[in-house]
Amino acid sequence: MALMPRENGGGFVRCACGHRHWGLHGAAGLLLTDPARGVLLQRRAWWTHHGRTWALPGGAVHEGESAWQAATREAEEEAAVRRGALRPTAESIVDHGTWRYTTVLATARLTIEERATSIESAELRWVDPDEVADYKLHRDFATAWPDLRAQLDRELVVVVDGANVVGSRPDGWWRDRAGAAARLRDRLAGLAGAGVPDGALGLIDRPHWSWWPRVVLVVEGQARGTAAVDGVEVVSAARDGDSAIVATARAARADRPGDHVVVVTADRELRTRVEAEGATVRGPATLLNLLAP
């Protein structure tokens, strides 16, 4: 919780629940997971708010800042954790009406050489998730931990049946299937960067959760030349697009069994096949509503 002038968001707020919190525009923290080392916890200096307790690197959100920007900025200021070494997976919001705290979940994709770089940070430690509850935790972090623990290092993988989704709207796609697939890909890239609210997908029934998905677009026929872009992988099916979708869902579940795999299609036979692989199915309308301007 790096101290800052009030114009940048520093200052205490008394929320609608009657508690006193740091951050005029709310606050955010980074829950960083390294599968080889555990989760990164910070022991707060004795003189800070809730001093001598363990929590996450984080602090007040600056005006105009996103929770991801705030959490990673604070993690770099307090623990020398570089934003480029992380892959954000999800965020969870605790909303107190007049104040909110956002936990940003991320996985290390490069080696993290953390070190305490703030006087507010007494110690940093990688902790096995099974042992976190044994520590003297910050009150609010202790309350949130069970829900956070259940989603550690879990990603949302969205596998899109390109032909089925493009064909679900009569927008002239049959005259330019490759162009329609490319337009869908570009809109999916925007979704990957903006995030997906859990309420739209119903994965864990937590309305204050959202996900930064890994998107896989499966194309076939005249759309097979569609190239990948940042945020969207493209699988070109040589013959059978449905089998390519099933194989993609199967591989995602095999590589990371804990991930949430969602296949977007209206094809009933394909739905049965991917559900047998452990995937969840949502129709094109759900995706198109998320992509709407």
Residue 57 vs residues 22, 60, 165, 215: alpha-carbon distances, Å: 14, 11, 41, 29
The CATH number given to whatever domain includes residue 131 is 3.90.79.10
- Domain of 92 in residue numbering reads as 6-150
Assigned domain for 1 exists: no
Across 145-172, average pLDDT? 93
Instruction: Please give the model's pTM, rounded to 2 decimal places.
Output: 0.88
Q: Are residues 88 and 181 in the same domain?
A: no
Is the residue at 164 inside a domain?
yes
What total of structural domains would you count in the chain?
2
Same domain (yes/no): 84, 162: no
If asked whether residues 202 and 282 sit together in one domain, one would say yes
21 forms beta bridges with 13
Give the model's pLDDT for residue 5: 45
Instruction: Tell whether 135 is covered by a domain.
Output: yes
Report if residue 29 sits inside a domain.
Answer: yes
Per-residue pLDDT of 225-234, as tens digits, reads 999 999 999 9
pLDDT tens for each residue of 39-57: 999 998 877 766 789 999 9
Instruction: Quote the pLDDT of residue 3.
Output: 47
My answer on whether 127 and 208 are in the same domain is no
Q: The domain that contains 208 carries what CATH number?
A: 3.40.50
Does residue 266 sit in the same domain as residue 205? yes
User: Same domain for 233 and 111?
Assistant: no
**Residue 162: inside a domain:** yes
Is residue 83 located within the same domain as residue 213?
Answer: no
**How does pLDDT run across 16-31, given as a tens digit for each residue?**
676 776 656 789 999 9
